Every structure is written in structure tokens, then in C-alpha cells.
Amino acid sequence: MNMFSLKDKIAVITGGGSGIGRAIALLFAQRGAIVHLIEMDQIAVAQTLAELNEEAKGFGHLCDVGDQEAVLATFQKIGRIDILVNNAGIAHVGKVETTSEVDFDRVYQVNVKGAYNCLFAAIPLMKKNGRGVILNTASIASHVGIADRFAYSMSKGAIFAMSMSVARDYLSDNIRCNTISPARIHTPFVDGFIAKNFPENGAEMFEKLSKSQPIGRMGKPEEVAALALYLCSDEAGFITGCDYPIDGGFITLNN
């Protein structure tokens, strides 16, 4: 009955207003966590918080994770942090020769520097608290080549490498750090991407993207959230410095 309980733990979730972040926030709150959502979209935050049940506690913070000063101020305001889920991120389509410097810097600013800023702000608070759990959202692009995803792949490779470094450096501080590597997950972002880029054959493209996972469909945000819950719970206390693909067999079976 009490397995995977996060009762009274303070969880900070970046990008918690939609998609995977929203699903993680809702599940963590259901399991007793006090959730703090860091987002740039005020409406998305309000909608997510409105979905919490009456007993759940949730707070929203409008903050650009790429702005270290703003991140530090937000985390100091929160105070104690038991769990950090670095989930905020943006995508980009393009090969190296079609990726402009502006786009490269934009992806780096959010996906890489944003994660670094949150780690930089959270770890001293976790050390002060005597423990902590960090879960960073990487991607299958951390492991295999994905066509037309140069900048995005760069950023997720950095997430994986940073996570392993943090896991090693803070063993003695009782801070665990792991990553999850989703394949394509059916979120509003995917629907928006298809509508924007394939307005004439959206249903056909959705089917094609779904079938790119050997299991034959996209993942669900709730499935990713379930994995995140386990890795952030006390039941995963012996796990650190690991990556968990959640990919419908993409990495190992898509050959």
C-alpha cells in the first residue's frame, strides 16, 4: 500500500505544465509529494495545478531555466528540495549544415544550460538537507543517431554526460542522479509538430511516427511518469548513475 510513496517530499519539476512534465507532476502529487512546477507558460501551470486533487499541494513558478539568476532566486524561495526532475526542453529539426547558430544556441540555452542552472541551484540545498534525488530527461538521441536532430541530440547527449558526472561527484552526499531516455511520446508537442509541418497528411505522418517504435505506437506521458516515480522513490535507493530507456524497443530492436 505504501510503496512508491512520496509523502511530504518536495519535488521540483521543470517543464511541468504540459506533456511528460505534467504527467510526472500529477502522479507525484497523487503519491503525496508537494510539487513545484517551473514553467514559462502561466496558463499551462494553472491548468496542471487545477487538476491536482483537493488533498494535493502544488505551486507554480514562472521562471526561465536558462537564466541562472532567476533560477537561483526561485530555488531559494522554494527552500528545501528532496527531488529535482529536470524535464524542461525544446526540440529542433535539422542537420548540422541546416542548423543556424541562433537555433543551436537556443537549444543549448534551454536544454543544457537550463539543466545545469537547476543542478547548480538544487545541489547545495540537497546537501544541506542531507539527501536528494535528481532525475534528468535525456532521450534515445543520447544513444543512437536520429536523422535531422543535430542540435537536439547534442543537448540530450550533454544531459546524459552531466548526469553521470553528478551521480559520481555526490555519492558521499547521499544524492542520487539518474536519467530516463524516452523515444517518441504522444504529447501536445507531437500533435503541434505534425499540424505545423504536415498539414496535408497529418494522420499518415502520425501513423509513420508511431510505427518507428518497434512496439508499434508512441509512448504515453503517464508511462514515463510511472518510471520517474519509481526512480525518485525510496524503493530505488540503490540506483544511481543509470539511464533508463523507455522507448518501445527503439534502441535495441530497431536494427
Mean pLDDT of the 82-98 span: 95
Residue 5 within any structural domain of the chain: no
Report pLDDT digits (tens) over 124-161: 999 999 999 999 999 999 999 999 999 999 999 999 99
Say what the pLDDT of residue 192 is: 84
Q: Please say whether the beta carbons of 160 and 179 come within 8 A.
A: yes
Give dist(CA 227, CA 244) in Å, integer.
9
> Looking at 116, 152, 170, 244, which residue is catalytic?
152
Mean pLDDT of the 91-111 span: 96
Report pLDDT digits (tens) over 203-255: 898 998 899 899 999 999 999 999 999 999 999 999 999 999 999 999 999 76
Residue 172 within any structural domain of the chain: yes
Residue 3 within any structural domain of the chain: no
Q: Please say whether the beta carbons of 40 and 18 come within 8 A.
A: no
Give dist(CA 96, CA 120) in Å, integer.
29
Looking at the structure, tell me whether residues 130 and 193 fall in a common domain.
no
Nearest of 18, 9, 164, 154 to residue 84 by alpha carbon: 9
Residue 251 within any structural domain of the chain: no
Looking at the structure, tell me whether residues 207 and 149 fall in a common domain.
no
- Asked about 152 being catalytic, the answer comes back as yes
Mean pLDDT of the 50-54 span: 87
Give dist(CA 208, CA 193) in Å, integer.
14
Looking at the structure, tell me whether residues 158 and 211 fall in a common domain.
no
Looking at the structure, tell me whether residues 139 and 210 fall in a common domain.
no
% of the chain beyond a pLDDT of 70: 99
Say what the pLDDT of residue 196 is: 82
Which of 91 and 35 is assigned the larger pLDDT?
A: 35
Residue 1 confidence (pLDDT) above 70: no
Looking at the structure, tell me whether residues 106 and 193 fall in a common domain.
no
Report the domain count for the chain. Answer: 2
Looking at the structure, tell me whether residues 117 and 207 fall in a common domain.
no
Q: Which residues of 23-61 are buried (b: 16+ CB within 10 A; e: fewer)?
A: bbbbbbbbbbbbbbbbbbeeebbeebbeeeeeebebebb
Residue 250 within any structural domain of the chain: no
Looking at the structure, tell me whether residues 197 and 115 fall in a common domain.
no
Looking at the structure, tell me whether residues 42 and 101 fall in a common domain.
yes
Nearest of 92, 33, 38 to residue 64 by alpha carbon: 38
Looking at the structure, tell me whether residues 191 and 231 fall in a common domain.
no
Looking at the structure, tell me whether residues 194 and 240 fall in a common domain.
no
Residue 253 within any structural domain of the chain: no
Domain residues for the domain of 203 are 185-218
| Residue 180 cell numbers, joined | 530516463
Looking at the structure, tell me whether residues 175 and 191 fall in a common domain.
no
Residue 142 within any structural domain of the chain: yes
* Residue 131 Cα distances to 78, 126, 127, 234, angstroms: 16, 5, 6, 11
% of the chain beyond a pLDDT of 90: 85
Q: What is the 3-state secondary structure (H, E, C) of 152-180?
A: HHHHHHHHHHHHHHHHHHCHHHCEEEEEE
Say what the pLDDT of residue 200 is: 87
Looking at the structure, tell me whether residues 104 and 205 fall in a common domain.
no
Residue 95 within any structural domain of the chain: yes
Residue 76: strand, helix, or coil: helix
> What does the DSSP 8-state code read for residue 86?
E
Residue 112 confidence (pLDDT) above 80: yes
Q: What is the CATH number of the domain that holds 174?
A: 3.40.50.720
pTM of the predicted structure, to 2 decimals: 0.95
